[in-house]
Amino acid sequence: MTVASNVKQCLANLKGIEANLSSLALRSQDNDTKRTLHETMMTVNEIVTDLKKRVGELEREEFQYKGL
């Protein structure tokens, strides 16, 4: 597996984690738990955003990674 493939797989996993945290926050009855899950989801979202930028950089730097 190439570096770009590994990074994209990591990105997909993080998006799944972000969705799960959001779902848990919505279903939670406890306000403190909701807040903690939401804050964690927002932190993961920042990482997802940064990783998306890195994927773009990889694709620009390494022609063979385009479209993976």
For 3-51, write each residue's pLDDT tens digit: 888 899 999 999 999 999 999 999 999 999 999 999 999 999 999 999 9
CA 54 – CA 4 distance, rounded (Å)? 9
Q: Which of 47, 44, 45, 62 is nearest to 5 (CA)?
A: 62
pLDDT band at 66 (very low <50, low <70, confident <90, very high): low
Task: Tell how far CA 23 is from the center of its chain.
Answer: 15
CA 40 – CA 48 distance, rounded (Å)? 12
- Are the beta carbons of 4 and 68 closer than 8 angstroms? yes
CA 44 – CA 59 distance, rounded (Å)? 22
